[in-house]
Amino acid sequence: MTDKQSGSDFSPVTVVMAIYNPTPAHLTEQLQSLREQTYPIARLVAVIADRSSVALVRDATADAGWSVDYVVPENETSSYRSFELGLKRALEVSAPNALFSLCDQDDVWHPDKIEKSVTELARTGASLVHTDARVIKDGSVTAGSLFKQEKRVNDDGARALLRRNSVTGMTTLFTREVAQASVPFPAQSAMFFHHDLWLALIAAVLRGITRLKIPLVDYRQHDANVVGAVGGAQSTPGLFTRAWVRHWLGSYSIAVYLAKCVYLRMQDVEAAGTGQPDTGRLAGLSPYLSPHALGERLMWDGLKWMLRGCRGHGRQSAMFGLVQGARMTWSLWECLKSGTLQSLAAFDAKAFAQAPGAQPGTLEPPPNRVVDTWHARSFCDERTRRKFAVKVSRRAPLRTVVLVPSLNPAEVFAGIATAIDIGLELAARGHKVVFVATDLPIASKARTESFIEGRARMKGAGGSVEFELFCGTTQSELSLSSEDRIVATAWWSAHLAQAIIRDAGLIHQKFVYLIQDFEPGFYAWGPEYANAQASYFLDYIPVFNTTILRDYFRSLGLVEPGGAAFSFQPAIDIPRYAGLSRETNKVPRLVLYGRPEVARNLFPVGVQAIDTFLDQNAIKPSQIDLLSVGLKHPDVCLSGGHRVRSLGKIPWEDYPKFLSSIDIGVSLMLSPHPSHPPIEMAAAGARVITNSFGTKDLSALGAGILSAEPTVKDLARAVTAAWKMGAVSAGDRSVDLRSLGRPISEMVDDLSVWIGRNEPEMAKAS
């Protein structure tokens, strides 16, 4: 330690490292490079994201001389979540004047990495410093400068960061002020942005960012990189395609989301007195914050970057401006369509009624104008139209083709997730599986692959599962083997499956139909109802999500009594939730599974039932905490000053802990399908109110579930009963799913055999 490091100006450094299935040799080399730093490390916080590498890290740091803190999450976590947990712990255990650095498990730090970074922070007074890096692979340097390889511009302001992140987390060193302001990280349903971008944005609006244009880290590239280095401009979908629109809309939405999160966080920081944002730096976010922006400022930014020769940044900013302008244009047009034109017509009608007391005829179009007509194709449900060609190829491998509406993580809810899980189970049994997104473009193939691989790991499949992705809206042709099997997962994909089998001339005429609800019930009596119902008369083998749904179909005559069908119990990890420690609340917490846009979830009925319960029991706002989760909606004001706060979708990694905080759950579903939330809530220790439907009675699954008729009166009575029953005992947390079918893995064992047969045969009843 130098004299300066031992003096009053010395700032201890805490390193936060995220560890997930590391290569031992790489981890050892990285830890050795930390040990050799010329500016000593005071503390290491190791987040064991895979929950199994504690011993490996402990052995590698045995004689390092650091204080090592281990953070082992309840479940495997992403890098984003891991660094959030690590920073929270680092703030708790580090000195008040500590500096913080992030570290990947497989890179190599140069000996003076920390020393030069500390010196630069002291020289500039910035909130964060980041450095260049060398890119290495298989022991060789592939690029001497990451900055040059990625064509990074010399601008680390907030507005530039929102266009394209220029800060790599493992090269950073930052102040406690940044660390404190950054946690908790903003919620996201999948990995749309990384921790280093969030930290950089926070630093950029505090005291700014400085950079060292010298490589102080060797950035190792290999097949398991979470992000990896990129070279130059990245490809985007073809101009004006649906995928192109979604790509730029998604990129712009992330930028606006982060800008708003930063602005709100700075308000919190000021209120808490833990930091002071620089108003000039914060102003850089303004083009993303105005609700009435037309895009002109972003377009002007784009032009300036173009003139400076930075085409990538210029294009990104210009496209953001275009999206912003299109947003305002669309909004104005919607206002005209939904209000102005109709209002003008109504005004004219009233005026004509006054004088002359009669309505004029409709104006005929000019002779040279084509009269509007309807085309028969416009009445076809677009979801049933295949957007890609199918071709049988002798070179195509034998595969199982799983058709799902979307493969974007943010659009994957329980139904699609179950379909993906069945595909992964088949892949684990040796089937070659290709997932086909039929409705929506795959926004990011890498993000989707990472998401599906994560589900495979969660199910215990590890690295043994292989699968392919096919985007049915952007890719033109799907090559099939003549013996491929098709799996449909929604009523419109059932029609697609039948057409694919017919058009490609596949040998196996039956497709597998994953039925997870009575889908005609999603619609009013009309074309969609009829088309959904028609799908049940196609040539398929059914796979039912629960015996309750199977028996409902049998009661309608859609499946013969004792006829061939597979069925399985919901894929809910009961022990995982039943083993959670209960969170203690100051007042009882009541949570509504609130999805106003989904009619079968009976949101209005649930709200009225809760309002009635509160009124009948004279409960004051100070006596209860009311929340709604599922889909984000405006808060709901109830009588007596009560307010239901909407949290929207809970991130998967936070879901178990949130469940353990619920005292009373209200989760409704007007269909023969037993949805997951009431079962998960009950296993986590909540008293749950749900509704009956026909023969469906979820109270038979466990003592913690109360079932009532789907009326305001009956549901309010059930909520009152749950309120008076008090806390759930350990025994009442037991939920038995055996009556709903076999575990999904056992069902897939039989389905795998059926799919593997050369001749289509009937599946045994299950």
> Does residue 379 belong to any structural domain of this protein?
no
Q: Are residues 78 and 201 in the same domain?
A: yes
pLDDT tens-digit series, residues 179-195: 999 999 998 877 788 99
pLDDT tens-digit series, residues 583-642: 889 999 999 999 999 999 999 999 999 999 999 999 999 999 999 999 889 999 999 999
Which CATH number belongs to the domain containing residue 688 in this structure? 3.40.50.2000
Do 143 and 185 contact (CB within 8 A), yes or no?
A: no
State residue 757's pLDDT score.
Answer: 63
pLDDT tens-digit series, residues 494-503: 999 999 999 9
State residue 7's pLDDT score.
Answer: 43
Q: Are residues 531 and 585 in the same domain?
A: no
Angle at 246 between CA 78 and CA 470, to 5 degrees: 70
State residue 507's pLDDT score.
Answer: 93
pLDDT tens-digit series, residues 749-762: 999 999 886 434 44
Do 635 and 656 contact (CB within 8 A), yes or no?
A: no
> Does residue 284 belong to any structural domain of this protein?
yes
Q: Amino acid letter at 6?
A: S
- Is it true that the peptide bond before 634 is cis, omega within 30 degrees of 0? no
pLDDT at 16 over 60: yes
pTM for the whole structure: 0.70
In whole angstroms, give the CA distance from residue 588 to residue 607: 17
Mean pLDDT value across residues 707-727: 96
Residue-by-residue DSSP string for 287-338: HHH-TT--SHHHHHHHHHHHHTT-HHHHHHHHHHHHHHHHHHHHHHHHHIII
Q: Are residues 542 and 585 in the same domain?
A: no
**First-to-last CA distance in the chain?**
71
State residue 426's pLDDT score.
Answer: 95
State residue 99's pLDDT score.
Answer: 97
pLDDT at 445 over 60: yes
Do 421 and 455 contact (CB within 8 A), yes or no?
A: yes
State residue 6's pLDDT score.
Answer: 44
pLDDT interval class at 4 (50, 70, 90):
very low
The Cβ of residue 756 has, within 10 Å, a number of other Cβ atoms equal to 14
In whole angstroms, give the CA distance from residue 181 to residue 60: 32
Q: Are residues 89 and 175 in the same domain?
A: yes
In whole angstroms, give the CA distance from residue 299 to residue 426: 49
> Does residue 604 belong to any structural domain of this protein?
yes
State residue 363's pLDDT score.
Answer: 59
Tell which of 277, 295, 326 closes a domain.
326
Number of domains in the chain: 4
Tell me if residue 11 falls in helix, strand or coil: coil
State residue 234's pLDDT score.
Answer: 53
pLDDT tens-digit series, residues 290-323: 888 899 999 998 898 889 888 888 898 999 999 9
Tell which of 279, 298, 326 closes a domain.
326
> Does residue 752 belong to any structural domain of this protein?
no
Residue 49: its H or E element = none
| Average of per-residue pLDDT values in the chain | 88
pLDDT tens-digit series, residues 273-294: 888 888 889 988 999 998 888 9
Residue 17: its H or E element = strand 13-19
Tell which of 568, 601, 620 closes a domain.
568
Structure tokens at 248: 């730029």
Q: Amino acid letter at 638?
A: L
Residue-by-residue DSSP string for 516-579: -S-GGGGS-TTHHHHHHHHGGGSSEEEEEESHHHHHHHHHTTSS-TT-S-EEE-----HHHHHT
Choice among 43-52, 123-132, 487-496, 604-613 with the minimum mean pLDDT: 43-52
pLDDT tens-digit series, residues 341-352: 667 677 777 776
Q: Are residues 58 and 162 in the same domain?
A: yes
> Does residue 279 belong to any structural domain of this protein?
yes
State residue 330's pLDDT score.
Answer: 85
Cβ neighbors of 234 (< 8 A, separation 6 or more) are none
Do 262 and 193 contact (CB within 8 A), yes or no?
A: no
pLDDT at 457 over 50: yes
Q: Are residues 559 and 603 in the same domain?
A: no
pLDDT tens-digit series, residues 147-177: 888 888 888 899 999 999 999 999 999 999 9
State residue 44's pLDDT score.
Answer: 95
Tell me if residue 474 falls in helix, strand or coil: coil
Q: Where are the beta strands (DSSP E) in 378-456?
A: 389-392, 400-404, 433-437
pLDDT interval class at 129 (50, 70, 90):
very high
Q: How would you label 528-538 residue by residue, b for 16+ Cβ within 10 Å and e otherwise?
A: bbebbbebbeb
> Does residue 430 belong to any structural domain of this protein?
yes
Please choose, from the candidates 462, 427, 572, 467, the residue with its C-alpha nearest in 3D space to the C-alpha of residue 76.
Answer: 462
pLDDT at 766 over 60: no
pLDDT interval class at 362 (50, 70, 90):
low
* Position with higher pLDDT, 116 vs 240: 116
**What does the DSSP 8-state code read for residue 372?**
P
Mean pLDDT value across residues 105-132: 96
Q: Are residues 418 and 506 in the same domain?
A: yes
pLDDT tens-digit series, residues 521-566: 999 999 999 999 999 999 999 999 999 999 999 999 998 776 778 9
Q: Are residues 312 and 407 in the same domain?
A: no
State residue 170's pLDDT score.
Answer: 94
- Domain span at 654: 577-736
pLDDT at 731 over 70: yes
Q: Are residues 168 and 248 in the same domain?
A: no
pLDDT interval class at 226 (50, 70, 90):
low
Which CATH number belongs to the domain containing residue 86 in this structure? 3.90.550.10
> Does residue 749 belong to any structural domain of this protein?
no
pLDDT at 8 over 80: no
Q: Are residues 625 and 693 in the same domain?
A: yes
In whole angstroms, give the CA distance from residue 214 to residue 202: 23
Mean pLDDT value across residues 76-98: 93
Structure tokens at 138: 């298989």
Q: Are residues 659 and 678 in the same domain?
A: yes
295 by Cβ neighbours in 10 Å (0-12 / 13-18 / 19+) ranks as: buried
pLDDT at 135 over 70: yes
Q: 65-74 contacts: CB < 8 A, separation 24 or more?
A: 65/35, 65/40, 66/41, 66/42, 67/42, 67/43, 67/93, 68/43, 68/44, 69/43, 69/44, 69/45, 69/93, 70/46, 71/45, 71/46, 71/47, 72/48, 73/47, 73/48, 73/49, 73/653, 74/656, 74/657
pLDDT tens-digit series, residues 470-481: 999 889 999 999
Q: Are residues 585 and 715 in the same domain?
A: yes
pLDDT at 144 over 90: no
> Does residue 80 belong to any structural domain of this protein?
yes
Do 128 and 211 contact (CB within 8 A), yes or no?
A: no
Backbone angles phi, psi at 630, to 5 degrees: 130, -80
State residue 371's pLDDT score.
Answer: 59
Q: Amino acid letter at 395?
A: R
pLDDT interval class at 19 (50, 70, 90):
very high
Cβ neighbors of 199 (< 8 A, separation 6 or more) are 102, 128, 167, 169, 172, 174, 178, 182
pLDDT tens-digit series, residues 364-388: 656 666 556 788 888 888 899 999 9
Mean pLDDT value across residues 60-68: 79
* Position with higher pLDDT, 57 vs 46: 46
State residue 373's pLDDT score.
Answer: 76
The Cβ of residue 371 has, within 10 Å, a number of other Cβ atoms equal to 6
Which CATH number belongs to the domain containing residue 453 in this structure? 3.40.50.11090
Please choose, from the candidates 96, 104, 83, the residue with its C-alpha nearest in 3D space to the C-alpha of residue 175.
Answer: 96
pLDDT tens-digit series, residues 410-443: 788 778 999 999 999 999 999 999 999 999 888 8
